[in-house]
Amino acid sequence: MMKSDSQLIINGLNFTPVVMEDEIKKVAAAATKIWHEHFTAILSSEQIDYMVDKFQSEKAITNQIETSSYRYYMIRVEEKLIGYFAIKEEEPEKSLFLSKLYLYKEYRGYGIASKAFEFMTDLCRQKGYHKIWLTVNRYNENTIKVYEKKGFIKVRTQVADIGNGFVMDDYIMEKTI
């Protein structure tokens, strides 16, 4: 693992790059809790467990960072972990893929996601990227409303087989920078 980069602080929030093993463990533990508190209304517990293991376990996060150029960030207030996000820069397309943005339930609705979007928008401007794009479950209505409020538009639907009899039924949304 690499040394941890210095943290970025925006209006009292810390966006700290995740690179060390103990940081990855913290994010994986947060993923398990956040996914179970957020997705139970739209996914079965079996699918949540499967998806967390496949995409948000320590092994999966480590692999994404080391081999797929994903960058994870812990979102913290002082030293308290309140959420995380993951991005991937896409050079040829001049875009940023927002792979994950999750907050503990008690921290939603306070503008924290807006600060994360400010960070991503600034990164796009620095790199000369033209858009941020993401996938979101088509039944995740509250989250879709947040993305739309932030200027994202639905560009298409996507159904992806993720194995074990499960699919991801998503919208692909984009925001022009």
- pLDDT at residue 7, as a whole number: 53
Q: What are the tens digits of pLDDT across the range 101-153?
A: 999 999 998 899 999 999 999 999 999 999 999 999 999 999 999 999 999 99
Q: Which domains does the chain have, with CATH numbers?
A: 8-176 (3.40.630.30)
pLDDT band at 78 (very low <50, low <70, confident <90, very high): confident
- pLDDT at residue 11, as a whole number: 63
Q: Is the pLDDT of residue 6 over 90?
A: no
pTM value is 0.90
CA-closest candidate to residue 58, choices 30, 89, 38, 36: 30
Q: What are the tens digits of pLDDT across the range 90-103?
A: 989 999 999 999 99
Q: Is the pLDDT of residue 1 over 70?
A: no
- The CA dihedral of 101, 104, 105, 111, to the nearest 10 degrees, is -60
- pLDDT at residue 8, as a whole number: 53
- pLDDT at residue 10, as a whole number: 56
Q: What are the tens digits of pLDDT across the range 27-66?
A: 999 999 999 999 999 999 999 999 999 999 999 999 999 9
CA 72 to chain centre: 8
